[in-house]
Every structure is written in structure tokens, then in C-alpha cells.
Structure 1
Amino acid sequence: MASADYNKELHIALLAVQRASLLTKSVFHSHSKGTLDKADASPVTIGDFGAQALIISALQHNFPGDEIVAEEEAKDLREKNSVKQTVWDLVQQAKLEDKSGEEALGGGIKDADSMLDIIDKGDSKGGSKGRIWAIDPIDGTKGFLRGGQYAVCLALMVDGDVKVGVLGCPNLPVDDSEALTENIGADASDAEGKGVLFSAVQGKGADSRPLGKGALAKESKISMKAVSNISDATFCESVEAGHSSQGDAANIAKKLGITKPSVRMDSQAKYGSIARGAGDLYLRLPVKKDYVEKIWDHAAGDLIVREAGGQVTDVEGKRLDFSVGRTLQRNKGVIAAPKDVHDTVIKAVSEVLGGK
């Protein structure tokens, strides 16, 4: 049953992402992460499949009429019985670790074969009508595999507009005031003091809370840090050069007078980090003309940053448009920054990219 104020949607999303994050943490610590190769050559792990199954199961139990856009499909698992069994065991383990969410999230998945059917429920084409959830079960899979930052991501869009966003970031510090360091994107851990859930509901601001087990921890309001002198700003970008033009980002930083090295990390952990003021800017610059972003890579982070007082647009200053399917086909790149300096950043971006 949907709620008018999205309180129920937020609660279920937080519980589902927390449970899925517990599953990913158990895989993060294993030596064999069960890597498979999809047709597009990007790595997929048993953690992706397990996390997606848990989240979709929770959404179907609570909002059976909603559509779901999710990154993974189960055909690879259908062809690999041993991997399917491993994913099923992880799903069962996560539920045992997180019993307190059982009533809210539902009894869920009956067996390994029904788990595959649930994974495949994320096949919505998206669009501008109705309630559609976007899931990235492990955003930043390469970071996850190399022991860096990653995020479990979930967002609800209603008629193409993002209303609820949740990010689970097991390897980020709980402390919102802890500044980003250059090496945060590598050699990460979920040791004591790590693991945070970011969330936002449209019009209600953004929050963070420690990632735990069972009942949700108390939330704290977060907000973007005011940037009085943009040359003092810290900017985040992707680790993978194939995801964002690092050379262009360096030239933009130079134009803005920024001398600090960029902080490179995988996943929407970048959105969460700037939303709470640990960083200031997030630049994701097109690497080629035909590259199109996926909605699940940005929907939750976009809302969280905007509700924390920031502005998120593409490189031309247009709002990200989540209403046209599974991709952001009307946008190029992403610029996220505090509102008072966003225009300045866009101007620098335009000058660098326009001069090419």
C-alpha cells in the first residue's frame, strides 16, 4: 500500500537497502567474490544478484503494483547452478542476520528458483508514468572487487520525478564531519566506525544514519558545505577513466583555481559524500559522444544531494531527466555542487568542453 507522504516507502527502502548491504558485506570479505562476466564485459558478482533479490522481494511484498528497473538479470545464474546455490545461501544468511526486518520486508523468497524469477522482475522499461523503483544492487562493482568504495542504491520515481532515495555505503565513515582523503577510494574497509545509510524524501531534506542490523539507527540531518572560495573546494570523480574524463576534470579544476588533488572513488558514494559536506563537487564528464548514463546510477544520489541543498545537472546545466526510460538519454555527464557555486562550475565546464 502506497503512502501519500512517502514515509512507508522510505522506511521499507531503508530496511531493504540495509539488509542488502549486509549481504554485500559478507561477500566483500570473501576471497572468491564469484565474478561473472556479462555480455558488456562489466563484472558481476554474487553480491549483485543476492542484493537485487532481497530488495525486489521487499518491494513486491509492500508495493506489488509498482514497476522496477534493476541492473541485473538472472540468465547467467540459470546457466550456473553452483553460483545460483551460492547466491541463495547468501540470501538466507542475510535474512538470518537481519530478523527484525522480517515483518516489514515479508517472508519473501521461497527457494533458489523463485529467487531467479524475483531477480528478473527488474525488467521495467521505465518512463514518465506511474511508480517505478530503480535499483543498482552494487553500484561500483569494480570498486567492490578491488576493495574500494561501493553503494547499494534504491530510488522511487513517480511520473518520472524522484521522490525517495536511499544509498547504503558500507565502507564510508559513519561520521558526517570526516573529510574525504585521497585514498578513500582504495584499501577501504567496513571496520568499526564505517557504514552509513543516506536517504532523502522530496521536500523533506536529507539524512544519514549508521548502517547496522535490525532496527534502523537514529538519523541525522545532512547538508552541503558552504563554499566561500571555490579554489578551496574538494572535488570527487570516478576511479575508472572510462566512466569520466579525468583530463577534462583536471583542466576544469585548474580553471577554478582548485589545487587539491581530486578524490577518486567508485559509485554513488560520491553523491553521499558531497551531500554531507565531506566533499564539495562531483564531476562526471562525458568520455565519448554516444555514452549514455543509466538511471539507477544516479537517481538516489541526485535526490539526496538536491535535498541536502545542492544542485545536480548535466554539463549543459539541465536537470537530470529520469522520465525517458532506463537511461538518461537527454543528458550528458553530471555536475553536482552547492547551489551558490554551481553556475561557476558549469561555466568552467563549458569553457573546457567547448574548447575541444
Structure 2
Amino acid sequence: MSYQKEVHIAQLAVQRATILTQRVFHGTKGTESKDDRSPVTVGDYGAQALIIHAIQHNFPNDEIVGEEEASTLRQNPNLTTQIWDLVKAAQLDDTAAEQELGGPLESPEQMLQAIDAGRSAGGLRGRIWALDPIDGTKGFLRGGQYAVCLALIEDGDVKVGVLACPNLPVDDSAPLSADVGEKGSDGEGRGVLFAAVFRTGATSRPLGQGALRTSRPIRMQDVPDITQATFCESVEAGHSSHGDQAAIAKKLGITKESVRMDSQAKYGSIARGAGDLYLRLPVRADYEEKIWDHAAGDLIVREAGGKVTDAEGKPLDFGRGRTLKDNKGVVAAPKTVHQQVLDAVKSVLSSK
């Protein structure tokens, strides 16, 4: 399969959902806490509804693993109305691709049903979309980096990956500033849509409305001197061990300060050469990464010429359900230095 329809619809749907998230980014975010104490915003719910609606229209037999579900909204009509207003506004702002995306959602109940359609258990067989409507919610809340993420997994393998990063520079050659994770802006010159299809490469293009803008291929940069590499990591210490990552950087001879940012924007940044390495190391032995937090970025980096494994050197396994239960941590780097980085990771982790 070429997956050209899948990547086209995925980009249009993610782009439309990003219009909604940007409206929330500049307004009242309407947060609440989920059972695992992670925050969720009105933007998460609205973006999930828009994307699932487009998937169901175009690929009605596919399953969807979405991060959110609508039980809380059904008990809170005021919050439902707030999200419905955002969904209607996003649809009015982006009418050019309306028919391709299945026409507009027509009612709050249809919106809630779309949100709840993301309850697939995942698994090794069939076509399953992994969706994170706002990845990096804490970055979104603080005005930093976030991403809207969608990937198609077929029989356990990621075939299509799309990331919208509204607050990253459009310019693929723009270096990452040290404060990129704290000072997000979706103004002029910002907003990039990354995409990849298995065995066909990775691209970036400016975010917009309606028809997709012109794309350009992206490639990871060679790292002839590992000591000069730009190291990307999570902002939240609860997501990834900053101490272990500092020890690994020291072992590699990297003295440059790491760049901390939320979300799969890190995957997009290293895929186009703005950064070089991305590590996410577990802070608890029992922690399982969610597939929607990595599927799109994993494919985009690999199709840009990089290599992604866990901390033991195993490929990420997206066929085990809603989590990466057979993997611990993430190591993403150009192929030429991945083993060197992995050796440093193993050395530091084994000494604990």
C-alpha cells in the first residue's frame, strides 16, 4: 500500500484540530485532572473529536486508540458546551477541506460519540490509529511546546506518522534555543507539520488552514563529533530521569546544556536536524509509555534517517496494546552514532 490517502487525511485532520488548540492556547484552557493526575484541557477533547470524526468518515473499519474519553463531559453540560463551541469555531475556520474530512460535526452528542470512539485496546492485528490530541499538556498550559499527534499502526508496525507543532519555527534549519521549551509562540514564522510514510521518507511543511502547504523532505544531520551534539529531553523530571541523562551526556563528553521541551516536538526537532539526540529514560521500573506518545515521532525520525530503540536497544513495539509494555525508555539518534549513545545509556543504567 502507498498510504497516500491515509497521510493526506491525517495531515488535514491534524491541521484542523491544531486550529482549535491554538484558539485554546491563547484563551482559557479549562483544565481538569484525570485519574492518573495528568491534566486534560478543553483543547484535548475538541481536537480528539475533530480527528476521530475525519478518520471514521474515511476509514470506517479502522480502530482508534485515543488518549481521552467523554464520561466526564457527559456529567458536565457546561464543559461540553464550551468544547462544542470550540469545535464549531474550528470547523468554520477551516471549511476548504470539509468534505474530505467528512463534513462538520452536527451536534454535541455526535462530538461526544467521536471522542468515545478512541477506546480501542490496540494490539498486533489490523489497522489502528494512535491519537494524542495535545501531547505535552503541561507545556501547552505553561505556554511552551506541544504537539498534535496521529499515527497509523498496521499489524503492529507504524505506517503513517503526523505531528503538528504550532510553536516550533517553520524554518527547518533554525537551531533550537535553550528557552524553546518555555517560550512558545505560534506567531509569524511558527507552526510546522511533520509527516512520514513507511519507506518513503519524512517531510515538513508550514501549518495553515484548508489545503496543505508545500512540503519539503527532512533528514537528520550527521554528528561527526558527538561532544558537540544537541541533546533534547523532557521538561518534566517525572517523565524522564534528568540525572541519568546528565550522566550519559557527561560520559559522551557533551558539555552543551540540554534543550528541554515537552511533547513529540523533540522527535520532529531531531528529525530535521535542529537537535541531534533524544533520550527518555524511565523514572520508575513499572512505568509503561503510551503508544500515542511515541508512534508518530518514532516513524518520522526513522524515515528521516535516524534510529529509535528503547534503552536496551530493542525497537519500540507498538503491537502490545495501548502501552509500550515490552520497552523501557527511548533512545533516538542518527544511525551513525546511535550505538555509541546506546552504549553510554547501558553503562550509566547498569551502574545504578
> Which TM-score tier does this pair reach, normalised by the shorter chain?
over 0.9
Equivalence for 1:48: 44
The separation in 2 between residues aligned to 1:213 and 1:115, in whole angstroms, is 21
- Equivalent residue for 2:71, pick from 71, 75, 93: 75
For residues 235 and 78 of structure 1, the distance between their equivalents in structure 2, rounded to whole angstroms, comes to 43
Q: Distance in 2 between matches of 1:232 and 1:296?
A: 31
State the alpha-carbon separation in 2 of the partners of residues 59 and 48 from structure 1.
17
Report the Cα offset of residue 184 of structure 1.
Answer: 0.1
Offset at residue 103 of structure 1 (A): 1.2
Q: Which residue of 2 aligns with 1:157?
A: 153
Instruction: Name the SS of the counterpart of 2:251 in structure 1.
Output: helix
Q: Provide the TM-score with structure 2 as the length reference.
A: 0.99
CA distance in 1, matches of 2:99, 2:80: 26
> Which residues in structure 2 correspond to 1:1-356 (within 5 Å)?
4-30=1-27, 32-356=28-352
How far apart, in 2, do the equivalents of 1:70 and 1:300 lie?
Answer: 13
Give the Å deviation of 1:248: 0.4
Alpha-carbon deviation of 1:39? Answer: 1.2
CA contact 1:49–1:72 (8 Å) conserved in 2:
yes
CA distance in 2 between partners of 1:108 and 1:337 (Å): 40
Alignment check: 8 A CA contact 2:301 2:307 kept: yes
- Following TM superposition, the consecutive aligned residue runs of length 4 or more in structure 1 with deviations greater than 4 angstroms are none
Q: Secondary structure at the match of 1:103?
A: coil
Matched residue count:
352
Once the 2 structures are TM-superposed, how far is the Cα of residue 36 of structure 1 from its aligned partner?
1.1
Q: Please, what TM-score do these two structures have when normalized by structure 1?
A: 0.98
Deviation at 1:113, TM superposition (A): 1.4
Alpha-carbon contact 2:91-2:104 (below 8 Å) kept: no
In the alignment, the residues of structure 2 paired with residue 98 and residue 70 of structure 1 have an alpha-carbon distance, to the nearest angstrom, of 23
Secondary structure at 1:132 match in 2: strand
Is the partner of 2:119 in helix, strand or coil?
coil
Write the distance in 2 (CA, Å) between the matches of 1:75 and 1:141.
Answer: 20
Q: CA deviation at 1:108?
A: 4.0
| Unaligned runs of at least 5 residues, structure 1 | none
SS of corresponding position for 1:105 = coil
Is the 8 Å Cα contact of residues 228 and 254 (structure 2) preserved in structure 1?
yes
Give the Å deviation of 1:134. 0.3
- Deviation by residue 1:25-78 (Cα, 9 ceiling, x = unmatched): 000000x21001111111100000000000000000000000000000001111
Q: CA deviation at 1:114?
A: 1.6
Q: Secondary structure at the match of 1:99?
A: coil
In 2, the alpha carbon distance for the partners of 1:95 and 1:105 equals 10
- For residues 125 and 45 of structure 1, the distance between their equivalents in structure 2, rounded to whole angstroms, comes to 23
Shift in Å, 1:311: 0.1
- Partners of 1:58 and 1:108 within 8 A in 2: no
Amino-acid identity (%): 68
SS of alignment partner, residue 73 of structure 1: coil
Q: Which segments of 5 or more consecutive residues in structure 2 lack a partner in the other structure?
A: none
Q: CA deviation at 1:246?
A: 0.2
Q: 3-state SS of the aligned residue for 1:137? A: strand
Deviation for aligned residue 1:80: 1.1
CA drift of 1:309 comes to 0.1
1:253-284 deviation digits (Å, cap 9, x = unpaired) = 00000000000000000000000000000000
Query: Which digits, 9 at most, give the CA deviation of each residue in 1:75-102, with x for residues without a partner?
Result: 1111111110010011110111111110
